[in-house]
């Protein structure tokens, strides 16, 4: 009887070992995510044989998105001249312009993520963090960042009014009903406008449209427009 009892206990132990091995295998078949997020496609089919460390899929937390962008040294110095600039804790409110030209409704907060300028490009990287409650922003998407800066009063002229001759910028100004071809020194472009650095007084009347059809000294019938 003792021999039979020991044999029965051995069979029970063997069965428990098989059960434990099955539980271990079952535990390894469960996929658990370390955080909440959106899962990508699973390329493998049910029953596929995997090796240890095989990649099944990826998961991404897109509730908040980081947008990385570079600015030039000149742009950086423009930001640094802002009265709100703090070199030790730089944070700047920015806007995201999507690839289709529409403005993302939520503003983001940008901060510098590098300690120096890239030698080959002369730029420095910033990271802007945007809330993404609707999941509109996706990894790998593109767009443009708008960084507001204090520039003081600027004189702007619309690109429709400007034409170039031998790399010099001109507009037609009005004196009475007569147009005059007037050169001016243009600065950087802001949207559809040129910054006027020199050559055009603030009270100048500039022809808005049709500059290509005019000649210096022509008499026209102007119609005032607001732009």
Domain annotation covers residue 172: yes
Domain annotation covers residue 105: yes
Pair (163, 208) in one structural domain: yes
Please report the pLDDT score of residue 84 as a whole number. Answer: 62
Asked if residue 183 has pLDDT above 70, the reply is yes
Q: Quote the longest CA-to-CA distance of the chain.
A: 126
Which run of H or of E encompasses 109?
strand 108-112
Domain annotation covers residue 27: no
> How far is CA 148 from its chain centroid?
14
- The CATH number that applies at residue 136 is 2.40.30.170
Please report the pLDDT score of residue 67 as a whole number. Answer: 92
Instruction: Specify the pairing of strand 92-98 against strand 143-146.
Output: antiparallel
- Residue 107: pLDDT band by 50, 70, 90 thresholds? very high
188 or 83, higher pLDDT = 188
Domain annotation covers residue 176: yes
Pair (131, 170) in one structural domain: no
Please report the pLDDT score of residue 151 as a whole number. Answer: 63
Domain annotation covers residue 35: no
Domain annotation covers residue 84: yes
Pair (139, 76) in one structural domain: yes
Pair (82, 132) in one structural domain: yes
CA 161 → CA 9, 115, 186, 201, distances in Å?
98, 42, 12, 15
DSSP 21-36: HHHHHHHHT----SS-
Asked if residue 152 has pLDDT above 90, the reply is no
| Structural domains counted in the chain | 2
Helix, strand, or coil (residue 71): strand
pTM of this structure: 0.52
Asked if residue 60 has pLDDT above 90, the reply is no
pLDDT digit string (tens) for 65-84? 999 988 888 877 877 776 66
Domain annotation covers residue 30: no
Pair (135, 76) in one structural domain: yes
Q: Containing domain of residue 110, as a range?
A: 60-146
pLDDT digit string (tens) for 195-219? 898 888 888 899 988 888 888 888 8
- The CATH number that applies at residue 206 is 2.40.420.20
Domain annotation covers residue 182: yes
Pair (88, 138) in one structural domain: yes
């Amino acid at each position: 009887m003792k021999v039979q009892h020991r044999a029965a206990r051995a069979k029970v132990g063997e069965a428990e070992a098989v059960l434990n091995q099955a539980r271990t295998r079952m535990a390894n078949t469960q996929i658990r995510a370390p955080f909440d997020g959106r899962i990508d496609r699973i390329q493998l089919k049910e029953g596929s044989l995997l090796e240890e460390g095989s990649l099944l899929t990826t998961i991404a937390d897109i509730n908040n998105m980081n947008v990385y962008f570079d600015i030039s040294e000149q742009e950086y110095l423009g930001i640094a001249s802002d009265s709100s600039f703090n070199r030790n804790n730089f944070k700047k409110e920015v806007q995201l312009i999507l690839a289709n030209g529409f403005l993302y409704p939520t503003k983001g907060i940008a901060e510098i993520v590098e300690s120096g300028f890239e030698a080959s490009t002369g730029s420095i990287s910033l990271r802007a963090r945007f809330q993404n409650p609707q999941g509109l922003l996706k990894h790998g998407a593109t767009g443009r960042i708008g960084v507001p800066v204090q520039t003081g009063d600027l004189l702007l002229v619309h690109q429709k009014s400007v034409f170039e001759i031998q790399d010099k910028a001109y507009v037609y100004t009005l004196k009475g009903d007569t147009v005059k071809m007037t050169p001016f020194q243009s600065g950087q472009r802001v949207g559809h406008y040129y910054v006027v650095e020199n050559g055009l007084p603030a009270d100048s009347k500039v022809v808005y449209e049709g500059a290509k059809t005019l000649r210096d000294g022509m008499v026209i019938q102007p119609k005032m427009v607001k732009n």
